[in-house]
Amino acid sequence: MTRLSVNINKIATLRNARGGNNPDVIQAAIRCEQFGAQGITVHPRPDERHIRRADVLALRDVVTTEFNIEGYPDERFIQLVQEVRPAQATLVPDPPGVLTSNAGWNTISQAVFLKTVVAKIKGMGIRVSLFVDASEEMVKGAAAAGADRIELYTEPYAAAYHQDRESAVAPFVNAASVARKLGLGLNAGHDLDRHNLRFLKQSIPDLDEVSIGHALICDALYLGLENTIQLYLRELK
């Protein structure tokens, strides 16, 4: 079964908008796990506009499923994952100040850099996933860089899903096939929701993990967190 990792950044955004500790990010992560989530994802950024370094350190002591830390692999990020030792580090090409991840790595032009940071993080005993576009060339570059997995950047799929879902998913099916032939694990994330998730899973049945934050937390406002997580798990079965 494909694992559901809940990205809790948006819960931290809500907390930070008012100050204090309501909602409590740590308790939210615990509840997500209790409600069936098989992983917790965070994406700390240098300005700490949502998840803070202190949150990541606190989550280290309470997450009992898979802990996944996303981020741009600068020295700050590498020091954080070295201290926390999550199950997985997902490396994304976000420059400082970007609103959200909006492209995958160019694993060809960034080959030397990626090989260096992937080797450093894998040397800590942490699984490394590279955030990539659904491109055969980029997937091959991820394998050459030494990554354990790729995370397919699914915003293009989500954007085109309601117009022509078969065409929308085709590049992702091809990229997934290439990844499996190269021995890479398969994750996916970005703009996945209750409407487009099932078809992606049906089209790529051997997905290891999806990471979902924004849509899931939005649904939880209407449907409740426990119910929402169960609905997403249902789409993955």
pLDDT over 60 at 23, yes or no: yes
**Catalytic residue, candidates 43, 151, 209, 235:** 43
Q: pLDDT-based confidence at 96, cuts 50/70/90?
A: low
pLDDT over 70 at 98, yes or no: no
Give pLDDT tens digits for 29-51. Answer: 999 999 999 999 999 998 999 99
> Which tokens sit at 220?
């939880």
What mean pLDDT is predicted for residues 130-150? Answer: 98
Q: Which residue has the tokens 């590279």?
A: 130
pLDDT of residue 99: 53
The model scores a pTM over 0.75: yes
**Catalytic residue, candidates 33, 66, 70, 209:** 70
Q: 70 an active-site residue?
A: yes
Give pLDDT tens digits for 2-11. Answer: 999 999 999 9
pLDDT over 90 at 226, yes or no: yes
**Cβ atoms 183, 206 nearer than 8 A:** no
Handedness of CA 88, 71, 234, 196 (dihedral sign): negative
Q: pLDDT-based confidence at 102, cuts 50/70/90?
A: confident
Return the number of other C-beta atoms located less than 10 Å from residue 60's C-beta. 15
- Classified by CATH at the fold level, domain 3-236 comes out as TIM Barrel (3.20.20)
**Catalytic residue, candidates 66, 190, 209, 235:** 190
